[in-house]
Amino acid sequence: EVQLVQSGAEVKKPGESLKISCKGSGYSFTSYWIGWVRQMPGKGLEWMGIIYPGDSDTRYSPSFQGQVTISADKSISTAYLQWSSLKASDTAMYYCARPLDHYYDRRGPPGYWGQGTLVTVSS
């Protein structure tokens, strides 16, 4: 069974750094792209970027380029989303997502989702 399990909720202060994780299991982690999606409180879904753990090829949505860093450690089947200096406006739920089976391209429909990580940034 394909599973994406994300790290737990975080409460941080503005200016602090943060790295959240998404661990994949039940499939070949290096064969599928993994993307990150932001959902601000009461708002819709926003695609942030995507990584191919096989070779760490990473693409960012223009809105998030330079704001976050996406990485992966294939040895432990885990993808990451990190911030170097958090802002209050980073308060949101963050989801990782993987395409459906047999969709090996980054355009594959995100069909498997993590449970989400709530990040709260407040002084």
Partner 1 sequence: QSVLTQPPSASGTPGQRVTISCSGSSSNIGSNTVNWYQQLPGTAPKLLIYSNNQRPSGVPDRFSGSKSGTSASLAISGLQSEDEADYYCAAWDDSSWMFGGGTKLTVL
40 binds partner 1 (CB under 8 A): no
Residue showing tokens 């602090």:
16
- Mapped onto helix, strand or coil, the DSSP state of residue 31 is helix
CA distance 63 to 80: 18
Choose between 10 and 46: whose C-beta lies nearer to partner 1.
46
Rank residues 61 and 120 by Cβ distance to partner 1 and give the closer one.
Answer: 61
At residue 29, the 3 state secondary structure works out as: helix
Annotate each residue in 56-95 with x if it binds partner 1 (CB under 8 A) or - if it does not, as one string: ---x-xx--------------------------------x
Map the footprint of partner 1 across residues 19-38, applying CB under 8 A. Answer: 35, 37
Question: Rounded to an integer, what distance in angstroms lies between the CA atom of residue 4 and that of residue 2?
Answer: 7
Q: Between residues 46 and 73, which has the closer beta carbon with respect to partner 1?
A: 46
- Distances, alpha carbon 49 to alpha carbons 8, 63, 84, 95, in Å: 21, 10, 17, 11
> Using the rule CB under 8 A, is 100 a contact of partner 1?
yes
Residues of the shown chain interacting with partner 1 in the complex, contacts defined by CB under 8 A: 35, 37, 44-47, 49-50, 59, 61-62, 95, 97, 100, 107, 109-111, 113-116
